[in-house]
Structure 1
Amino acid sequence: MPAFLAKRLATLIATLVATSIIVFLVLEILPGDPALLVLGIDASPEQLAVFRSQYGLDRPLLDRYLGWIGDLLVGDFGISYAYKTPVWPLIAERLALTYPLAISAMLLTVLLALSLGVFAAARHNRPADVIVMAISQLGISIPNFWFGLLLILLFAVNLGWLSAGGFPGWSDPGAALQSLILPSIALAAVQAAILARITRSSVLEVLREDFVRTARAKGLSRNAVLWRHVLRNALIPVITIIGLQFGNLLAGAIVVEQVFSLPGLGRLIFQAISNRDIEVVKAAVVLLAFTVVVVNFIVDVLYAVIDPRLKVHDV
């Protein structure tokens, strides 16, 4: 197990280093001068030179990258060009919304997908299976931002049950959680549809194994076999997709936050791109990438917990 974890940890670090290089280079070669965007076209050459010197924009590219990475390692995310304040407090404030939104959408995705996938597999080729697959196909076809608009029209405008957007803050937890209901559903719909189909296929494959017939012959009920034995053996491909989907949910949250007027990390990134606030964009993107990589590292560990053979063969 230690060797297994060490190998996965080395992969995690290498992925983060590669990601940081790509993010830094892509954002640095974008057209536009941050000094001109912040100070305006009427700024004098002296003012522009002072700004570039203050933020290190006049240094060689390699020096800027190494300095940026060194600062990140000690928790210094830099200074925002637009806000003139440290980047980390800006991001931390927005993460307090974006992370709960993505996590709640992930929980809803897993709950719906496992329930519907196992339900459909247990009724293979029956009307219930056809209906679940038809609904999942519809869910895959609907963009989450458009589904979010439909949810607003139904539950906020027509029924008046929930708010159409905005976030009251965590000082009122009840209202805060209520404001995340519709965005979470909008985010989870597509991912749950995908995961439900994968769960169904994986469960159907396991149902054909000999141990399932043996378990039924020993007198175990159909539900006991499905949920205690079949599902566990079918989880490997399902968990793989869950790890990938968390990254999709974070990316989707950026768009859904705009639809529901949520002051999360997505809105901050959009504003930072508009203002050419590169320090904010770099820190936010690297932090999102770090989150996705860590989630996939946890998925790798779960593989070994669910199937000990993976530790033995060290795959």
Structure 2
Amino acid sequence: MRLVTYRRTVNEESRLGALVDDLVVDLQWLGDAAGIDLPADMLDFIDLGPQAVKSATELLNTYREDWPVGVAIPVQNVKLLAPIPRPRKNIFGIGLNYTEHVAESAKSLDTSPDLPKQPVIFSKPPTTVIGNGDAIEHNAKITQQMDWECELAAIIGTRAKRVERKDALQYVFGYSIMNDISARDNRRSGQWIYSKGQDTYAPFGPCIVTADEIGDPQNLKLWLTVNGVEKQNSNTAYMLFKVDELIADISQGITLEPGDIIATGTPAGVGAGRTPQEWLWPGDVVECHIEGIGSLRNPVVAV
């Protein structure tokens, strides 16, 4: 399934839907029509576990050619929000997780040229999250070096504590796209949370694709454009630490819970690593694309 959080009008509460062709199918309303209780919220749905995915998938297949009245809405008539508009906890970010990005960062960002021996973990607060089409805020009083980072996001589906790598992917609910916006001139004594944790610095979406539809998360093309010009182009196959390794590593000391998000790192091609360096400015439009998931488009605006 391709799950979204949407609303029809500005004044309405957000709701859980499934993207089917060019329609958003409201899962709670579909469940009501079939006599099955399904929640109207993404996190509540994730909390229900694999059985909810199975039940919802069966419902969508059953009614696909004959939706109950009012259940299916043309996607152009709704606003898609971030799939999880307000995560319960900080997002787990992974730094220096593609070989070529390690090299470009060492040249321009004073990081080590050596490949990390363990995942480099930081975090982004829930207030960083925005959805597809929402504006990334550029505050010139704070930064003159706003950068982009296209990343695969893994969303945890079941509680994971000290799991083994061989079992780790069983804990994934689904995958999405995240742009790890970074103010390179806001790093503080090697700490990244302020440079990566400012408001609007985690564009996320447009949907969550459930893990059963992705199959192998380590064989997905990902690329990024700024104003239509390609800046990044790679494949998740080139991650240093694969998704299963990241889950196993983090869960040894930090319990992962349903709805937790891991942004798995970015490949080479960031603005800081280019010659000359390039940055995002008000008026720019940045787009992230990941094979099998979709596109995430955000304008940059001055604040």
What TM-score do you get using the length of structure 1 for normalisation? 0.26
Higher relative contact order, structure no. (Cα contacts within 8 Å, ≥ 6 residues apart) = 1
| Max Rg structure | 1
Higher helix residue share:
1
What TM-score do you get using the length of structure 2 for normalisation? 0.27
